[in-house]
Structure 1
Amino acid sequence: MLCWLTCLVVLSALFPSYLVDYLHLGMQQMGYVLSAIGFGGTLGTLVMPALSDRLGRKPVMILSVIGAAVFLVLLARTGPNPTMLFTYLMLTLLFVFSMITLTVGPLSAESVPAKLMSTASGVVVGIGEVFGGGVAPVIAGYVAKHFGIQYIMHLGFVALAVGLVVTLCLRETAPLRLRAQPAAVAS
């Protein structure tokens, strides 16, 4: 969770300055580009978790990490083109919100006994918010001040790379996939 929130908070907090100060977009253009956060977030919280019910949590998480990383790199390499910036930001955050939703919800809840589901989600959110939402912006601010605001997305990319390693170690928790596994082994 702290990896996903690091990427989200860095983009949400410092991306407006990146658009205006580094890419020299106007305020209306910046607003248009940033509206992608809402579109991507909505799609990511609806589409990918539903897909994970069928395909499994782990494959969707891996796809989401890779998707977020690819579109974050494309976003970082895009010049002052509002339409492309909107598209890449929306797709990056579609995958980031997908991972946040899956981590806080099904992955946390399905990984512990029923009586600990709420606690597990709370611990995951707490750790993610303190480090990803509290420490990451401080680090991003340091990077922006000392190296240039164009490098803030590197922090999000590093967080995604660490998250990919963790995601590769996940055990499948989707009930539909778990029920299908013994049948696949028997045949």
Structure 2
Amino acid sequence: MGRWEPNAQERLTRAALELFAERGYDSTTVAEIADRAGLTKRTFFRHFADKREVLFRGEEVLSRLISDGIAGAPASATPLHAVGAGLEAAATAFGPERREWSRQRQAVIADNRELRERELLKSTALTAAMADALRERGVPDLTADLAAEIGYLAFRTSYARWIEPADEQDFAELTRRTLKELREALGAVG
């Protein structure tokens, strides 16, 4: 592949994931990623701050999709139903073409403490985005925080189900199913 070809960010992402799987995250350098993609280190750093960010690109887009979905929920929606609307809006980022990449990504993250910590920061940011979007709807602070925590639990559970090889449901359906199960569990507790 020539250095002038388009889709540099996608090429770098694919190359990084391949190398992380082959050699491990810690044993892979930015120079190797760029070389595998047929690009320069300089091009790599135009797209990513460091090699870790290859695995976490799109975090801001995901937060925005969820926040916009919550904001667009009907005014009569309960906080959990608004969160459900946010998670369904985020499903557009989880098309079938991303499933295998996401499986590989999660395997790399699971094998590295630093990446697991970064994943926790991502979870905190997504939860905060949900809570903020709920507050914008006039939901009281504590209720917004609790609904956002439940929302992140639903997101995390749905994502884990979505990357399972045996589960081929789309992400939106999985979020609906997971939220239904969480509501049932909460009803059983109350």
Larger radius of gyration: 2
Larger helix proportion of the pair:
1
Higher relative contact order (CA 8 A, sep 6+): 1
Q: What's the TM-score, normalizing by structure 2?
A: 0.33
